[in-house]
Structure 1
Amino acid sequence: MAPVDDTDKLDDVADKTNEKLDEHPWAEWLPKAGWLARGFVYAFMGWTVLLISFQKDSADEASSKGAVVALADQPYGRIVIGALAVGLVALVVWQALALALIRDTDAKSWFKRLSGAGTMVIYAGLAFTAMRAALGMSADNGGGIERLSKGLLSSTPGRIVVFVAGAIALGVAGYRAYKGWEHKFLKHLDLDGCDPRRRKLITRLGTVGWIGRAFVVGLVAVFSMWAAVTADPDNAVGFDQGLRKVSVTSWGFVLVALAGLALIGYGLFCVVSLKYRELRD
């Protein structure tokens, strides 16, 4: 339990943040823009996963080009990515505000802060990559995690770090799967008055989407942990390469294709549930 003065400080920060949001109603549009960008990111990511599932090249020969970089190569891709970058920045700003609105000091609240901070860092990195791609600058090809993991695997302490990080990611994946299966994501939505058919659609898309995200995160986590155990940097793979390794195995392409459809489902979930999201939950 945190000291009383720490709790008071958190309450003061939350109160001031709420006051600022009340003074500037336009700030409520930040998460809306961000969630639309988030939906697009996952839908496009799902599409690239579907393409991976139907590729016949080996995991070693396959390109590791990331989804954002691949989109930049398409007609009008830079314009789309520029809009995407703006939405992602809005999502990062709102995530920072959401962290400031958390008042409690129990374990659950600190987990929410840690999870939110991690999400903010991830989307900030993706926004940076999108901005560079939109400006025609050299962008990260999606292998940043892979390069970092391989660097850490060169030493025993580094391998411990990679294994622990993989274990945490695997735990996060398990929680996401549970949240999707048990429909826990619905508590962040205000569905009062929602049409029953639309509610059913939101529930189904959310269930599929959350479980699909869990599969992808868990897959990369397992590869990272195995690389730490075997001390083999070649086993440390990022998002694209991990899926490619699975897709070339017997029936693996089916799992990857299902994961792609699930990610597209999550992207649609972000869009159709936007109207019902509780922005200050």
Structure 2
Amino acid sequence: MDDKKEKLARFGIATKGFVYCLIGVLTTMAAIGMGGKATGSSGALESIAGGTFGKILLGITVVGLLGYIFWRMIQAFEDPENKGSDFKGIARRTGYFFSGLFYGFLAFTAMEILMGSQSGGGSGSNETIVAKLLNQSFGQYLVGGLALVFFGKAIYQWYRAFSDKFKSKVKESGLDQKARDLLINSGKIGYISRGVVIAIIGYMTLRAAITASSSQAGSTKEAFHFIQNEFGTFLLILIAVGLFAYGVFMFVKARYRRMVSV
């Protein structure tokens, strides 16, 4: 990968970290009554636009999101990390593709907010997707399948948190002990928190499949409300701090991860 492409990819990874840090900060502030709001990615983008120099910062964020999409598509199609073409490799690369697709929708949302045609917030893209699926033949089964995808992703996040492979990659990065400890600890906390949020989104999606009602589904924002209503504010704060830690993890990855040439 040439220098310009590598810088764009690193900037993209850092931008993902920035969005997660913002989600963590806004949700923590809302939970402790200091303003803010329990929100997902779209709401975080809206909050950027409303701040000082908001349009400029949001424009920079759009560029960063495009950089992250660029990196995910390289991982999916050019396979610089040699994931391979067996079942496991194809599954990983397909995951990279859909991750890039998700951040493509997020970048599009950011551009809509930037141009003033979208106010952010809303009911969440997951509810919209569920509503469309329920209108299809065997819609409830399709939504049930989507719920299983979320559950699988949640389990994978928890696996990453405790995986020796994750720790060994950090140890092989050539970082000093302090940086390695920061990367491992922030990554572990972040993966656990992401897994919890994704599992709850999966539960809400399964609930929508059983009831055949898209209003029962939800995205990150609704998952935060569910955590607070069912388990209390303290757990919501822990999850929000965990997502902030994941953002820190992405910042460190952006700086230190090895970019394999393609």
| Alignment TM-score > 0.5, same fold | yes
Indicate if the aligned counterparts of 1:190 and 1:277 stay in contact, CA closer than 8 A: no
Q: What residue in structure 1 maps to residue 104 of structure 2?
A: 124
Residue 4 of structure 2 is aligned to residue 26 of structure 1: yes
Identity across the alignment (%): 27
Matches within 5 A, 1:1-281: 21=1, 24-54=2-32, 66-102=43-79, 104-141=84-121, 143-154=124-135, 157-186=138-167, 188-189=169-170, 191-249=172-230, 251-280=231-260
Q: State the shift of 1:63 in Å.
A: 8.9
Flag the 1:77–1:145 CA change in 2: closer, same or farther, 3 A.
same
- Distance of 1:210 and 1:105 partners within structure 2: 26
What stretches of structure 1 of length at least 5 have no aligned partner?
A: 1-20, 56-61
| TM-superposition CA deviations, 1:135-162 (whole Å, max 9, x none) | 3332553522212213433566111111
| TM-superposition CA deviations, 1:136-189 (whole Å, max 9, x none) | 332553522212213433566111111101111111110111111225334555
Q: State the shift of 1:101 in Å.
A: 2.5
| TM-superposition CA deviations, 1:44-73 (whole Å, max 9, x none) | 111233244346xxxxxx999722123322
* Rg (Cα) greater in structure: 1
2:205 partner letter:
S
- Distance of 1:77 and 1:227 partners within structure 2: 36
- Distance of 1:83 and 1:207 partners within structure 2: 28
RMSD: 2.4
Indicate if the aligned counterparts of 1:247 and 1:255 stay in contact, CA closer than 8 A: yes
Flag the 1:232–1:54 CA change in 2: closer, same or farther, 3 A.
farther
Indicate if the aligned counterparts of 2:130 and 2:143 stay in contact, CA closer than 8 A: yes
- Distance of 1:184 and 1:53 partners within structure 2: 34
Flag the 1:227–1:54 CA change in 2: closer, same or farther, 3 A.
farther
Q: What residue in structure 2 maps to residue 17 of structure 1?
A: none
Q: State the shift of 1:30 in Å.
A: 1.7
Flag the 1:188–1:84 CA change in 2: closer, same or farther, 3 A.
farther
Question: How many equivalent pairs are there?
Answer: 252
- Distance of 2:167 and 2:91 partners within structure 1: 19
- Distance of 2:121 and 2:74 partners within structure 1: 30
Flag the 1:83–1:168 CA change in 2: closer, same or farther, 3 A.
same
1:68 partner letter:
L
- Distance of 2:224 and 2:39 partners within structure 1: 12
SS of structure 2 residue aligned to 1:273: helix
SS of structure 1 residue aligned to 2:69: helix
- Distance of 1:48 and 1:206 partners within structure 2: 20
Indicate if the aligned counterparts of 1:188 and 1:277 stay in contact, CA closer than 8 A: no
